[in-house]
Every structure is written in structure tokens, then in C-alpha cells.
Structure 1
Amino acid sequence: MPIRLLDPVLVDRIAAGEVVERPAAAAKELIENAIDAGARRIEVAIEAGGRRLIRVIDDGAGMSGDDLSLAVERHATSKLPTDDLLAIDTLGFRGEALPSIGSVARLTITSRNGSTPGSSITVDAGRKSSVRPAATERGTRVEVFDLFSATPARLKFLKTDRTEAAAVADQIKRLALAHPAIRFILSSDDGMMLDYSAQSDDEVGFEARAIQVLGPDARGNLLHVHGVREDVEIRGLAGLPTFHRATASHVYLMVNGRPVRDRLIVGAVRAAYSDALPSGRHPVVALDIRCPARMVDVNVHPAKTEVRFRDSGLVRSLIVNALRDAIGQAGHRATPLGGLRTLDAMRPMQAPRFDRTRFTQSHWASSASPRFPEEAPAQQGFSEAAQAAFATAPSADVRFAPIVEANSASDFPLGAARAQLHDNFIVAQTSDGLVIVDQHAAHERIVYEKLKAERAAHGVKRQIMLIPEIIDLDPAQAARLLEHAPQLSEAGLVIESFGPGAVSITEIPALLAGGPIKTMVLDLVDGLSEWGDARSLESRIDAILSRIACHGSVRAGRRLKPEEMNALLRTMEATPFAGQCNHGRPTYVELKLADIERLFGRR
């Protein structure tokens, strides 16, 4: 078959397949052009999910008639002042899309700059009209009709109108977060979808825009992130580990104001949250990475969604450390949404009415019993006298922080312990409400963070066992444990072979003294089977420490004295990540007094 040159319109349609894969991609390209034109207000309207119409109106610099004619030509751009592809300071360049869009749809552009009259041009399935005068205000209006009408086969790959409209909204959210000083409006044939008012172009404005994009639940659940290394700076917001989502759709990443979905950055975010989120959950993050243009290549992907850093290791390390620092500085903080959901679940649809006629004489036959049920709380409530019962509880061998008097402890963030329910949940009184703590989950995190700190400083403290613990396993399990002996040793657990299908435990972490050694080892065997070789050495050691901490913490069903409960609360306040256990579940729920009063109709 002889070699031939393709028709230019066909070339544009092939290019459109790379750049304009769906309506959201076309909308993204048009909005980026408006941003590069200096717009401060961008209105987007779509019909049928963008398949029938995409309209983008901006108040940017606009174009003259001559520029308008060139704008729809291939290989024409205003975003590359020189031929240096490594000096791109705009939202171009790889995905210059106007000719591609015009090749698969009917494209109309009307524009006016400050010095010349308005003009308009149309491109219909690759056929360009002449430029004609048009009455319009300063700025640009771009309309795309019947997307993919010139390539009907591509229409079959589009999803429902609702799904395509949601994809357009997602693109606008990402661009709006990257440019908070611009007002963004999105409407569809179903009605208004988004309206983000312009914010100040600073950290305060970025947070305000983040709350607009992420929703009101994000307020009070975001941490400021900042880090600098050499010529790379990272700024943004990160959600508390207990504030998470079922999908990664709330991970917003930007490089020099360009929204990206880069694998390197996504991997760094996951690594930073690796031991703080529940399995299958994703963090809420909005990060903007700033660096010189020459340090990043934006021409890796036609749609400009991926980038390549000159020093990817530096960028990854900076992201991980900045996020971990922010989460660590949050200390014991956890999202208040758990408490609000608890109150919602407790709030009755209608208050139950007490019916005395349902009670027979047997209910008050004994003079020792309260005459009516409503009198019972007076005798069995959380009175100060009732707290004396805790003094008789058996002492727990727990290494906690110094004891603080209960009366003054209510001024601390997690308050003063007032009761222990079901030998697992600590009820504490704060200055403006109450806190319910899961003692096992809380202590699990405390032990884990202490083990990590020991390992980082001088290695996990170990205790030699007077009589080694011999554990029988099947040969495959024993071989797996011995294969990971170096990592287990770094975590404070020394194991040796003890014949076929058995291992000998000769040293254990000092914090685990007296703990259930065999149960922990069997749990580690299961964990090693799940991890395989997918985890890095560092993450595998942390995972081992996490499982050790789980078995070395205060167990559910263990009664604690008041001073031990208060000591646990004080230690939580001083421990990073203490708002969630090693598995990412919250360690406490906080209920504000005002909300509790509303629950009982007092407000």
C-alpha cells in the first residue's frame, strides 16, 4: 500500500480524538483559554451534557479579527512567545484544541478586544468561514454545537447526559480551585449547577474557594499545608484523616495553577495518609505545587493532565513530608461530623410519652425501688458519688502521661473522665460538651506512634524473653515469617527457626511485655500474606509496628481507674494522629453541649 499524506481535516479529527474525548475535555480547553486571556468572570452553559451545546463566555482580553482568523488554524497559538517548549507559563500547550473541536462539531467564536470592533468566525466540521463583524462586548464567546456530529461513531462512547454534565462540573471545580480570584458559573438545560463567587488571590481566598468546591462539611476539617525545598513550594489544604471519602474525586492537585491527575503526586498523597485512613477510603486534599517552568514538562499528555518533574524524588518527598507535618501538628483532632451524625441518629422523630397505666403494682411493690421510672436517674445517674465506684477497679498496667486532677482536666480539649461504659468507652466532660473515647482504639494509636518514634530515634526497645515462645505454624507460614525476619527485627520482634513448621520468639518490643505474643504472631502471618511485595520496605515495617501496637494496647473490656482514664486523655492530646486508630477509624466522638440541648428541645 503506497504512503500518502492525510487530509488536513482528517488529521484534525484524529487530533480531536486525543484532546477532545468527551464534552468535559472540550469545556476544559475553552475555559483554560479564557483564564489565559485574563478573564475574571467565566460563564459556562451546556445542553444535553455538553453534547448538544457548550457555551463559554468570558470578560478577558478578547481578540481582533486577524487573531480570530488565526485562532482556528492548526499550529497557531498565543501561548508560546518563543519556540522554547520548556518555558510555558500559561495553561497551554499540548492540548491546543480549537481546530480539533471545529473539525468534529460546529464552532462559533465571537470576540472583541479593547481597540477593535467585534468579529465572529465559524468552523463547521473543519470548514472555516470568513471573519465577519459582530456586535459584542469586550471578551470572548465560544459556542460548540453538536459535538462529534462529524464523527458519529464517537457519540456511542459518551455516557448519559447526567454523567457527562457531572464531568463538566468536575473540570470546572478543579479549574475554580486553581484560580480562586475568578468567578465561575455553570448552568445546564436542567438548571443552575455551580456559582462560585470570586475570592481574594491569597491563602484566605484559597480556603474560601475550597469550601465552595468541597462543600460546607469541609469547614473546620481542613489543615493548612506548606512546604518548601529548593525551588519547589507546596501550599494547600488537607483534610483531617477522619474526614475522608469513598472515592478519590476529592483529591485536587495543581501544578503552577494547572489541574493535573499525576500518578506521582497521587502516590505521594496516598503515602502521606497510608496509616491514617480506613481501608478503601480516600483523603480530601487540595494542593498547589509551584516551581519554575523549566522544572516541569507539561507536554507529556495531549490533554495536559499529566506532568513530568525534572526531580520527581524531591517533589514526592516534599509532598509526603508537608502533608505528614500538617496532619501531625493537628495532634488528636478529629472531624466533628461523627458527633453530629451521632446526634442525628439519637434525635427522635417524636418524643415518647410516658404512660403510667402500663405499670402494674409490681413495679413499685418493693419500698427499695423508685416509685416511678422517671425517679430512677436520680438514684442511678452520673452523680459525683457514683464516681467513687471507679476507685475499686483493678489497676491496669498502662504507661500513660502524668495524672491531672479531674476538676481542672475539663479545661483540656478532651476534658475530664466521668465514667467508663461497657469497660471500653470513656465518657469525659469538656468545658462545652462531652467526649466519648474508644479506649482500645486510642491506646492503639498511642502505642503505634511511640513505636515509630523509638524506631526513628534509636530503634524499637526490645526485651529478651527468659523462655522463648515456640509457635507452631504450617511450613509455608513459618517460611514467610522467617523471610521477613529483618523487618520484624527492626520492629522489635526477633524470630528464629525452630525446626519444620515452627518459629521461636526470642525478643519482643518492650511495650508488648506481657501481651498476647502468639495471637500477634498469627496476625502478622496473615498480614504478610496480604501485603506480598507491593509495599515498600518502609511501609511494611510501619504495618508490622501497627499490628504490634494493636496487640500491645489496652484491650476492650478492661476496666480503668479514673486517673488512668484521665492520663489516657492527656496522652491522646499530646500524640499526633490520635484522632484515629491505626486502621483509620475515629478514636473519639465529641458532642457539643449546645447540640445536646437542642436534642432535648432546650434550644
Structure 2
Amino acid sequence: MNAPSPKISGPSGRPVIRQLDEAAVNRIAAGEVVERPASAVKELVENALDAGASRISVDYADGGKTLIRVTDDGCGMTAEDLPLALCRHATSKIDGSDLLDIHSFGFRGEALPSLGSVGRLTITSRAAGEEAAQIAVAGGRMGAVKPAALTRGTVVELRDLFFATPARLKFLRSDRAEAQAIADVVRRLAMAEPTVGFTLRDLTGGGEGRVMFRADPTGGDFFDALHARLAQVLGAEFTQNSVRVDVDRDGLRLTGYAALPTYSRGSSVQQFVFVNGRPVLDRMLFGALRVAYFDFLSRDRHPAAVLNVICDPERVDVNVHPAKAEVRFREPEAVRSLVITGLRAALTGAGHRASSTVADATLAAFRPEPVAAMPPRVYQMDRAGQATLARSFAFQAPLPDSGFAEAPAARAEMPVEPEALSRPLGAARAQVHENYIIAQTQTGIVIVDQHAAHERLVYERLKRQMADHGITAQALLIPEIVDLSPGDAARLLEHAPALARLGLGVEAFGGSAVAVRETPAILGAVNAAALVRDVLDELADVGDSQLVQARIEAVLSRMACHGSVRSGRQMRPEEMNALLREMEATPHSGQCNHGRPTYVELKLADIERLFGRR
């Protein structure tokens, strides 16, 4: 006997169509909009930003499960506005005539009724020239509007989130994890609005609670304000080791800050992307960010950047995801190209610069391990002048007839031109271990890995030659036929022109098969079918493939390695200085082909601190 289908509930064996009541509709909508406490915080803070707030305070308890309170000094609402604000699809952000011309964070009018349907929501607000009023809603049941006491702005208090849908509580994570998610949301919005002050406080356990995050409003022009805000959110280390990004092309603009390649991270935790100031998690944009750093980092390292794509709202659709976390561009290739070229131009402008964290790590390695009982520090006199030092050294030198033979020189004495010391990488003074060049600057010393530095210089030279003369394609005597699915074949042929510029010639061969007629000559003998399938995997993953270019540049990198100055080779003084000057003139020379630094700069003050002089 056949069991009845659980999808059919009518007595006639047919499914019955029912009109859901408003409470059920709101709870279903809440499942899309409010996934966890951090989602509620995001919606409420975005409402405060849309209201023109200059300061926003976020309080929570128990990871936001028992209390979320958002206080702002925005324009506020009147007593007549409050009941309407709790109705679905009631909003002041748009009039409904054009869903593409959106200039605000919110626009659907779903957040407040959704929160009121699954928790206990209280809104207290006061508009300019009006009396303060308050309204409460619990589990979708709305109360009456009451008078209240409030100076200005709005206070939204959400208690017992998901009390009306207790099953959802079982899917929440620990209080600590939920609190971390709330902090991440507030930090992202703080980066989006640098001129607005944010305070995040944990009220768990009662009392005044603990301030978990604070960012005061920043002033100045946009980049100054953003720079100061990023120092508050990500730390001064990021801002000290990042470059400004500002590119404008065809009505699209990319702004923000991108970290130097030598300031790479072990994961993508410091990658933040915004579209018209809205935090988004867009795979295409993150893929473009990865491609921009593709030539500077090894596979296990990730770039750090804060980027904002600015365009006409008509050119981007933000209404494609319930939480508005994803967007769809009308011209995705133009946006992708802007991100890649803009970042590469900014990194090229940094020249030979390497991150300051390299020197910090070097100094940390020099410092001895702490011991139980350290002798008292001896403070020496201030550094003597050059003339005094010269007389002192002459006095300490052994007499000619003292019986001491002059020791072999550890290095050749190199004449130093005064102007060379003012160069960024200074003047070469010695070579040690036949691999490291010691250079003197006006403010310290520079230690250069001669092999890594020259390898990068040769690599950049080979890339310029390839860009000038193109990539030579090698025609296959017998084209290789690769059978693909119709979708894969269409995707590959769509990118065929770009692949052809890299020396990989692909064309249709009837049905869903493709014919590989040319491969890059520099790669030598390759498995064309395997190469095509690897390219398709990357296209499916990030929407674009850099695999062929990666293999070509890997060959160039190996050629650069074999053609560069080897470790163990003694270099003449003029060769060392020529290497330093070429590094200063070559972009990206601060890191080798694998993303590691090619030089370390130590300030004189740091060196003296190592010896207890400071």
C-alpha cells in the first residue's frame, strides 16, 4: 500500500492552497532577513545611518540573544510614523517607482516588522519639533503608541530574539561566536562611514558593561577620514603598510587602501569590499582582488585591502539577496578590470617599498630571550661626532711596530658619495656571507638579499619584454580535441579571445567539443586537455582564469631565478650599488617572486635600542 505524500494535505488527494496569516508571513520573512543577532544589528545600524545619525551606540547581552539596543541621534520619527514603520514594505527610503535608483542602505521595509515578529521589539523616537513616542511589538502583536522621554533620535530595543520561533535558537552558535559576529558587522559599517562615531558595548551580567569597540568620528577629506578610521578599526600597522587607491574610469571609481604584498596575511580576514559604501560579499570582486596580487604572493598568502566601488546606482542591482550582501553589476567585466588595473597601478606606484613589519620582525629576532635576573641597564653618552670617533679609532689602532699583523679586511673599503647616502636604499658598504649586501643610509642600514632582489629585477624585465613583444604561440601538428559539457564549452569559448592573447588557441569543433590548436611556446610540451580542464575549473570558481598566465609567469620566474646573481658570488662595489639603484627604479622590487621581502631596513634608533643606548 502506497503511503500518502507529505506534500499533499487535501481530502481529495490534491494540495490545498491557503492564504497564510500575517504572523506566519512575517516569521517566514524574518527567516530570510534575520539569520542571527548580527543580522538584526546590521539592519538596525543601517536604519540609523539612513536617518543621518552622527553617533551610533550598539549594546548587546548574551551575544545578542537576550538584548540588542541601538541608539542614534538621527532625524527620528513622529508618533504617527511608528505604527507604519512596523508594517511590511513600509519605508521612507524609496517611493517604489525605480528599484535601481537606490541611494540608501535599506529600502525594502522588512527589517522592523520581521524583528517584531520573532522577538520583543520596542521603538522610542523623537523627531525635531515633535514629542517623543514609543511603541512595542512582541511576536507580531503590536501595542499602542505611548508618550515617552527622549531628547532626540531613536532607540530600538530588541529583547529575547527568536522567542516566538524557539526552533531557531537551537541553530545559534555560542554567545562568544555571536558577539564576534556582531563586532564584525559594526566594524564593517564603521569603515563604510568614517565620519560617524560608533560604540559597541557588552552588557552581559548587568551594569554599565564593557566597551568592546569604539571609533570616534574622523574629519578631513575622504581619504584622510578613511585613513584615520582604518587605523581605529584595523590598527596602525595596516595603514602604515598600505597604499592609497583612487582610480576613475568610464563612470566607475575605485577608492580605498591596499596593503603592500609584504604585508600579506595567512587568511582573507582583512579583505573588505564595498559598493557605493555598502558592505558586500561579492565573489567576483574578491576574485579580482586576488588576481591583482596574483604576481606578488605565494598561494598560501592573502592580500589585505579595503576597497569601495563607486558607480551610478542604475549600473548595479542591490536587490538580489535578502540580506543585501550580494550585488549584480550591469558591466561586471568593466568593474573587474577596474579593480585589477587600479590595484596594480597603486602597487606599482609604491615602487621598491616594503612593509615596516619586516623590520619589526627582524628586530624581534635580534632581541635576546628574557632571563630571570637582568643586570641594570647602563646608559652611555650621546653619540659622538664623526671627527671625535675618527680620533678615537686612530688612538685604539695598534702601533706599527707592536708585532700585530694587520688582519685581513672583512670587506673592501668602498668610497661613499654623500649624495648616495640620501638615496632610499643608501650606499653599499659591505657584502657578507657572499649573499647579503649591507648598505648605509642617512638614518640607518639596509640589508639586501642579493639573489632574491636580482631575481625580481630580472623577472620584471622579462615581463616587460613579454608585454612588448607578445607571447609566441606554438601550433600543434595535430589539434587536440577535448570533449566537454555544453555549458563548459560555451564558457571556454566565451574566454577564447583572452586565452588566445596568452598563446592558447581554442575553437569550436562541433557539438560540445573544442579543438586546441595552439599552446604557449614558452611552456614547451603540455597536456592540452588537462590545461583546458584546469582553466574551466578556475572559470567556474572565480569567473575568470589566470591559470595560463600563471604558468607562463612561473616559467619566467624560473628563468629569472637561473639568470640572476647567485648566492655565494662575490660582487664588486659598483655592482652592489648598481643593484641598489635598479631596485629603487623598479616597481615591486621590495618583494621576491614568492612575496618574501628582498631587503630589510633598520633605523639607527632601533639598532641603538638593541644595545641599550636608548
Judge same fold: TM > 0.5, yes or no.
Answer: yes
Instruction: Return the offset for 1:170.
Output: 1.0
Give CA deviations for 1:357-388 in whole Å, capped at 9, x if unaligned. Answer: xxxxxxxxxxxxx99xxxxxx9879xxx5432
- The 2-side partners of 1:521 and 1:335 are apart by 37
Which stretch shifts more, 327-336 or 120-129? 120-129
Structure 2 Cα separation of the partners of residues 107 and 380 of structure 1: 84
Tell me what 1:183 maps to: 197
> What's the CA shift string for 1:443-467, capped at 9, x where partnerless?
12111111111111124799xxxxx
Give the corresponding residue for 1:124.
Answer: 138
Distance 1:344 1:302, change over 3 A: same
**Whole-angstrom CA distance in 2 between matches of 1:310 and 1:254:** 16
Q: Judging changes above 3 Å, is the alpha-carbon distance between structure 1 residues 24 and 380 closer, same or farther for their aligned structure 2 residues?
A: farther
The match for 1:277 is 297
Q: How far 1:311 moved relative to its partner?
A: 0.8
User: 2:284 is matched with which residue?
Assistant: 264
2:116 corresponds to which of 61, 80, 102 = 102
User: Which one of 1, 4, 8 corresponds to residue 22 of structure 2?
Assistant: 8
Q: For 1:417, what is the secondary structure of its paired residue?
A: strand
**Residue of structure 2 aligned with 1:168, choices 182, 197, 215:** 182
Q: CA deviation at 1:548?
A: 2.8
- Paired with 2:340 and 2:244, the residues of 1 have a C-alpha distance of 14
Residue 530 (structure 1) shift: 13
Structure 1 window deviating more from structure 2 (344-353 vs 130-139): it is 344-353
Written as runs of structure 1 = structure 2, the 5 A alignment for 1:520-535 is 532-533=534-535, 534=538, 535=545
Equivalent residue letter for 1:198: P
Match of 1:388 among 408, 412, 434: 412
Q: 1:379 to 1:407 in 2, by over 3 A?
A: farther
- The correspondence for 2:435, drawn from 420, 424, 428, is 424
Q: Give 1:445's aligned amino acid.
A: R
1:273 CA displacement: 0.6
SS at structure 1 position matched to 2:258: strand
Q: Which residue of 2 aligns with 1:560?
A: 571
Q: State the distance in 2 between where 1:224 and 1:47 align.
A: 38
How far apart in 2 are the matches of 1:72 and 1:241? 48
Contact 2:89 2:109 in 1 (8 A): no
- State the one-letter code of the partner of 1:314: A
Is the 1:19–1:95 Cα contact (8 Å) retained in structure 2?
no
Check conservation: 1:43, 1:186, Cα contact below 8 A. yes
Structure 1 match to 2:164: 150
| CA distance in structure 1 between the partners assigned to 2:604 and 2:164 by the alignment | 63
Distance in 2 between residues matched to 1:110 and 1:352, nearest whole Å? 61
> Who is 2:453 aligned against?
442
The question of whether the paired residues in 2 share the 8 Å contact of 1:94 and 1:302 is answered with no
Contact preservation (8 Å) 2:411, 2:431:
no
Q: Which residue of 1 aligns with 2:357?
A: 337
User: Using the alignment, how far apart are the partners of 1:148 and 1:380 within structure 2?
Assistant: 81
Residue of structure 1 in register with 2:217 after alignment? 198
**Equivalences for residues 213-224 of structure 1 within 5 A:** 213-224=233-244
Within 2, Cα distance between the matches of 1:302 and 1:432? 55
Amino acid in the other structure paired with 1:272: A
CA contact (8 A) 1:241 1:580 kept: yes
Higher relative contact order (CA 8 A, sep 6+): 1
* 1:191 CA drift (Å): 1.3
Residue 275 of structure 1: CA displacement?
A: 1.2
| Deviation for aligned residue 1:93 | 2.4
What is the identity percentage for the equivalent residue pairs of Structure 1 and Structure 2? Answer: 54
Give the Å deviation of 1:407: 5.3
Deviations 1:309-357 (A, max 9, x none): 111111111111111000001011000111112112212235998xxxx
Q: What code does the residue aligned with 1:191 have? A: R
1:67: which partner in 2? 81
Q: Partner of 2:509 in structure 1?
A: none
In 2, distance between residues paired with 1:508 and 1:429?
44
* Paired amino acid for 2:534: G
Partner of 1:586: 597
CA contact (8 A) 1:339 1:591 kept: yes
- CA pair 254-227 structure 1, distance change in 2 beyond 3 A: same
Asked if the contact 2:230–2:239 (Cα under 8 Å) also holds between the matched residues in 1, the reply is no
Matches within 5 A, 1:475-490: none
Instruction: Show the counterpart of 2:401.
Output: none
Cα deviation 1:119-155 (Å, max 9, x = unaligned):
1111111111111111111100001111112222222
Could you say which residue in structure 1 is the equivalent of 2:150?
Answer: 136
What pairs up with 1:450-529 in 2 under 5 angstroms? 450-459=461-470
SS in 1 for 2:200: strand
Residue aligning to 1:316 = 336
Q: How many aligned positions are there?
A: 514
Moved more, 145-154 or 551-560: 551-560
Cα distance, 1:559 vs structure 2: 2.5
Per the alignment, residue 291 of structure 1 pairs with 311
Shift of 1:94: 4.5
Counterpart-to-counterpart distance in 1, 2:472 and 2:77: 70
Question: Normalised by the size of structure 2, how large is the TM-score?
Answer: 0.78
Asked if 2 retains the 8 angstrom alpha-carbon contact of 1:95 and 1:303, the reply is no
Aligned alpha-carbon RMSD (Å): 3.0
Cα distance in 2 for partners of 1:129, 1:544 equals: 71
Summarize the Cα distance change of 1:314–1:388 in structure 2 as closer, same or farther, 3 Å threshold.
same
Q: Which amino acid aligns with 1:35?
A: L
**Aligned equivalents of 1:82, 1:532: Cα separation in 2:** 45
8 Å CA contact 1:88, 1:293 repeated in 2: yes
Letter in 1 for 2:54: R
Residues 487 and 58 (structure 1 numbering): CA distance in 2 closer, same or farther, change over 3 Å? closer
Matching residue within 548, 552, 574 for 2:585 = 574
Taking the aligned partners of 2:417 and 2:531, their CA distance within structure 1 comes to 46
Q: Please tell me the residue identity of whatever aligns with 1:438.
A: D
Contact 2:412 2:430 in 1 (8 A): no
SS in 2 for 1:141: strand
Pick the aligned partner of 1:55 from 69, 91, 97: 69
